[in-house]
Amino acid sequence: MAAGGSSGWMDGGLSSGNVAASSTIDPLTPPSGCTGSDDHQARASSSGVASDMLKMTMSAPSDQPKTIAQTKGVTEKELVRDLVFVLQGIDGSIFRFNSRTERYIFGGISNGRDIELPARHASACLDLCRVGGTYRRVLERVNRLLDDDTLEAPTCPSRTAGAFANQIRDRLMEYYRLTVTLESRVAGSGWTLQHLQAWAYQPGRQLAALERSPGILAAASEGRLMKGGEADFFIEEHAAVSNRTTSCSDIWTGAFVLDFDKVPSIITEDVALKIFVTGKSINFVRQCCSEGDWLGDQDEPLPHPEGGEEPSAESLTRMVQTAYRRETSLVFRLMMNKYRLQDHLLAVKKYLLLSQGDFVGHLLDLMTEHLSTRAQGLHFPPGWEIFSLDYIATQPISVILNDGAMHQYRKVFSISWRLHRAERQLSSAWSQQMIAHRTVLRAVHQKRQKSSSASPNDSVIHLLQTCNALRHEMWHLVQHLRSFFAFNVIDTAWQKLRDALESLASQQEADLDRVLRLHEEYLSRLAAGHFLNHSADTAAGKKQMKVFEVLNELLSGIYQFTTLQERIYGDLSGAALGCEGSENEMPLMDEATAVEFKRAVTERREEFLGNLQKFCAGAMAMKTELKHLVNRIDFNCFYY
């Protein structure tokens, strides 16, 4: 709160001079029993309960002194001089503060002589005594609150009360400076009770509003939070977070908490939330972006009540709304323009969700040999099972791409990576089939033409045909799954996120919490589309769990089949090369081995068809998009 002439207190439109310390009275220690300028004796503040003070038991009964004696013998100039002291919360020689009724009353005695108050001045004196009494009552209660040592304890629930009391004290100090200026001006001639009454009108209204509805002081109190990003009042800082180095995500989501139980009744939940987000935004920029000066001129005043308007819930709402829109929109533009949040999200989509085809192909070429070996010995699974990519996001982007979000991305990556692995292995199986066609089947057919007897390799040929048919079915499934995940899930979710961010950029209220919610919705769509929302608590979650488990079994079956086919083609290729010099057709595989391979391929086929039927049945029981997927996979109703 500014301490100079830019006070929030109005002086009734009269000319104002410079604030001159013409009195040596301490404005924050209201005296009692003082007599004008003769003796200003300080009265000690009475003790009281701090929390009761914050609830503003300051509000006094509405009845005023019922009798102001009709007398004579006191001049208007004497009344003006004495009432200036009253406005400062000081006992004058004519009017004194009654500690029992907490009001200024007419004493009837001045400097040892009986006096009477002219009737024509009674109304003006009553109004001015009311203003001085209000100031003194509020000040005494605030001082009692601040003198309570328990407020300094870090765990004290009344820290909020102390914070409000400090703000009220600052307001009272502004008022006192005006009265000191007034004292120097009325020392000259020309001031009447009407002048003094007009001067005190607006400050009196503000003091009355302050006493009546202290929660309205949030308009000044929250200014420190909304313009400085300082935690205070009903917004508490977690000590565990503030005492250690944290990530931006922790600073934004975990450093502060809004305690609705401590929000003053004058402040609605919506206003409290906006105050909370505004303060968090400024603190986030300072802590994570090192952009303290980027927020602009923090001395720019927030809107306050104008003219004769009393502080009110409406004026508080307007001030909060202005600060909220100004600061949060700046933070949003900083994240989107300077730190290029959308480009980071696109990079995650391309590389972590494997939407960039050439990158995926090159990565598979580089990693296939390494991933096919077991990690660190025989006691660990193959590298395919433990391989994962990560995206390192620096501050302040890490508030969006936080640990929880990256965990979700890695889960989606795991499914996409397994599909790409299955596609790569089926592609290799096709290459092996082409080699076998050139070496094995061609040799068998050529030698079969020279002999009319039954071929010893009929079972081998049938085995190769079975492998080829099963490989085609698996390839058909993998291609449709990859297409569904890439276009129906990832691209669709990405388009919705991009449209939502563009729409948010055009709005006035674009705060970081809304960006976080949009990103969480994006991750939720990705997880649901990849069957990862398999919570056991809901029926839909149980259905997704079953489909997810069947999908994993299908992919595992494909890996097992391609490994089996590699063994078959390896044995046949070696046998075919060994029989190249023979004129007669030689068996490429002994009968027992052929039967064993045929049994293994048949098991793989039956397992694959059974799991595929389960997958189709589970998908048909879910949402419409999956029904379209099943229709593409089972276009001729062969499987389901």
Vertex 285, ends 279 and 289: CA angle to 5°? 165
pLDDT at residue 414 in the model: 94
Vertex 333, ends 329 and 334: CA angle to 5°? 115
- Please say whether the beta carbons of 269 and 263 come within 8 A: yes
Strands (E), 214-317: 235-237, 256-258
Q: Which tokens belong to 454?
A: 């039954």
CA-to-CA separations, 10 to 58, 138, 233, 260, 329, in angstroms, rounded? 23, 18, 27, 33, 33
The tally of CA atoms less than 13 A away on the side-chain side of residue 170 is 17
Residues near 203 by beta carbon (within 8 Å), at least 6 away in sequence:
9, 10, 11, 12, 131, 175, 178
pLDDT tens-digit series, residues 335-358:
999 999 999 999 999 999 999 988
* Of 51-65, 146-160, 379-393, 621-635, highest mean pLDDT: 621-635
Average pLDDT over residues 376-390: 72
pLDDT at residue 47 in the model: 31
- Please say whether the beta carbons of 105 and 75 come within 8 A: no
pLDDT at residue 149 in the model: 55
Average pLDDT over residues 507-535: 89
* Of 49-58, 512-521, 587-596, highest mean pLDDT: 512-521
> Higher pLDDT residue, 374 or 116?
116
Q: Which residue has the tokens 């303290």?
A: 292
- Please say whether the beta carbons of 327 and 278 come within 8 A: yes
What mean pLDDT value characterizes the chain? Answer: 75
CA dihedral for 34, 35, 36, 41, sign (positive or negative): negative
pLDDT at residue 476 in the model: 95
Per-residue pLDDT band for 452 (boundaries 50, 70, 90) equals low
Average pLDDT over residues 452-456: 54
| Nearest to 298, CA basis, from 273, 278, 274 | 278
- Please say whether the beta carbons of 175 and 106 come within 8 A: no
Distance CA 530, CA 481 (A): 10
Class for domain 394-633, per CATH?
mainly alpha
Residues near 278 by beta carbon (within 8 Å), at least 6 away in sequence:
225, 226, 320, 323, 324, 327, 328
pLDDT at residue 45 in the model: 36
Specify the length of the chain in residues. Answer: 640
> Higher pLDDT residue, 576 or 295?
576
Name the pTM for this structure: 0.68
Average pLDDT over residues 295-315: 55
Which of 64-73, 232-241, 246-255 comes out lowest in average pLDDT?
Answer: 64-73
Other CB atoms within a 10 A radius of the CB of residue 555 amount to: 20
- Please say whether the beta carbons of 420 and 354 come within 8 A: yes
283, pLDDT greater than 60: yes
Which of 10-24, 343-357, 563-577 comes out lowest in average pLDDT?
Answer: 10-24
Q: Which residue has the tokens 């909304």?
A: 226
> Looking at this protein, which amino acid is placed at residue 28?
L
- Please say whether the beta carbons of 298 and 229 come within 8 A: no
User: What is the DSSP secondary structure assignment for residue 95, as one 8-state letter?
Assistant: E
> Higher pLDDT residue, 135 or 114?
135
pLDDT at residue 5 in the model: 38
pLDDT at residue 2 in the model: 35
Residue % of the chain over a pLDDT of 70: 69
387, pLDDT greater than 80: yes
CA dihedral for 217, 222, 224, 227, sign (positive or negative): negative
Angle between helices 76-87 and 159-186 (to 10 degrees): 160
Other CB atoms within a 10 A radius of the CB of residue 114 amount to: 10
> Looking at this protein, which amino acid is placed at residue 112?
G
| Domain limits, the chain | 50-212, 219-338, 394-633
pLDDT tens-digit series, residues 76-105:
888 888 899 999 998 888 888 888 888 888
> Higher pLDDT residue, 222 or 630?
630
